Chain A
Amino acid sequence: MDQAKEQSPSHRPPFQWPAEGNARVPYRVFCDQEIYREELTRIFLGPTWQFLTLANELPTPGDYLTTFVGETPVIVTRGHDGQIRAMQNRCAHRGNLVCLKRRGHTDDLTCVYHAWRYDLEGNLKSVAFRRGVAGRGGMPDSFRLDQHGLKKLRVAAFGDLVFGTFSPDAPPLSDYIGNLIGSRIHRVLRRKPKVLGTTSQILHNNWKLYFENVRDTYHATLLHTFFTTFRLSRLTSEGGVDIAESGAHHASYTRNKVDRVDAASSDKIYAGISSLNENFRLADPSFLTSVEEFGDDTTTQILSLFPNFVLQQIQNCIALRLVLPKGPDKTELQWTYIGFEEDDTEMTALRLAQANLVGPAGYVSMEDGAVGNFIQRAIHGSEEDCSVLEMGGFEHSSEPNRTTEASVRGFWQVYRPLMGF
């Protein structure tokens, strides 16, 4: 066998982004181990803001939870002063996980391995047997506690959304998000959120395939029968996509009560597309009757922040999604479903019923869990080929329609310079 050739990557052509720019994406970026490792450093540990938690998931000083920035484990704490902070979940001594549980309450953070103890800000406070035992052993006099704290993140909040970054180069969070997309976050999160529940989905595909899917306004009414058949969202309704100037973030929106064409014409436009299924009727469609809670007729808004956060409003179902990379072909998609503190019993019941639309078993989003894996399987052996992103042209700017891949191109517009592509 040609072992030498298999072991050496040098026979592969050097990576070069196609001349078509953001309208082409080489499949190699979805499979390549080296590119994946670079992404963890350049994107997730780079000058981007990463969603950590909702502030009210840590209601009391001493509360903590653990999460990830890329694949790097982090601890998020609420300190005795009420401030939320984040630090790497890796003991400064020998690299052990400091917090083992997903969440808890504590006065300090003590590593189980050798009992190094940190405060809730990540400062090293004590080292077991620092002065030795009975005059023998112990740390040298030169050892300084203040040189061995947990690695700290910058933390900033946008309303109740708490973000962190390891990078000193990330711009201030509000500048990072910008006014255009920031106002679309505020539109949904004007009130105090209340968590209705969480779930997590293991996707057997590259994280970017899921993130492309989220930003792809073209697919939703074609892949998802539920959207089209029940007129929850059609491209014939009023809608569009707002894209941050950099391309980094997006918000697509539908006002499905405001049709651009009449119902019959809309059916005609979708005729022959499998997502319009005339034979499919619900026995109990009551949960699809929404309450107008935002005062702007916007029935669906899907918003993403580069590189891996999603805020979704589909009817009255609101959820945060965090896309965590777990390898070149594995992704964890974490869902947090929310309502608001002032929701009455009826409103909560409606949100819970509409939660049937999304998540791993969602009437709408079930397909999104599978389609990334279909691509991941299909692109084996095609690493030098590219996907085509020409719907709506070549730009990545806001458009008053959704028959476009502009926001997908926006993602690559930001991704490529970060990766040096």
Chain B
Amino acid sequence: MIPRFFIKYKLEIIFVVFIVIFAAVFLINNANIQATAKPGQETWQGSDDQGSAAIEATGYTPWIQPIWTPPSTEVESLLFSIQSGLGAFVIGYFFGFYRGKRDSATPA
């Protein structure tokens, strides 16, 4: 008989186990990559930037520039954090709302 806990939290367990494997593979692979990287070489680049680089390698130059570019990677990551924050806020708000509604509907 499987303990109740594993049935109740089956999906959570699968998710956490996969994330742990994910992180472990990342750490091992990162150690290899850092050991073989030439000084100054950028590792763990974004695939979007690699795509742009591959396009430039064909001799193409972009015909238009973005209207606004974040002045540094710090500012860029701030904006990305705001984006995730907004998303997480909305998700948390509604799940909390659902929970509150459910709990108040079934008086203890």
Do A and B pair up? The answer is: no
Give the B-binding residues of A (Cβ under 8 A). Answer: none
B: residues with CB less than 8 A from A are none
